[in-house]
Amino acid sequence: MSNETDPNQSMAHHILYELWYSIAETLFQRACIATELDPEQTEALRRVMLRPNDFQIHIDDEPM
């Protein structure tokens, strides 16, 4: 196996990361509305719970 990064895999990681972050943001907003957090509470929680790069996307290229 080569140590070089496959451009298609890099693009897939980026797309999946953006998709996941978008979903997480939507769920976060809904939770804040449901729990009736004020804007200050929402921002404090966002700084703790939605920090970029706090999660990783892993693509397993092994066949199932």
pLDDT higher for 28 or 12?
28
Kindly tell me the number of DSSP H helices and DSSP E strands found in the chain.
2, 0
As a whole number of angstroms, the distance between CA 30 and CA 4 comes to 40
Domain coordinates of the chain in residue numbers? 7-49
Mean pLDDT of the chain: 83
Question: CB neighbours of 32 closer than 8 A, spacing ≥ 6?
Answer: 41, 42, 45
Rounded CA-CA distance 8/15 in Å is 10
pLDDT for the residue numbered 4: 56
**Amino acid (one-letter) located at 45:** L
Burial class (CB in 10 A: 0-12, 13-18, 19+), 14: exposed
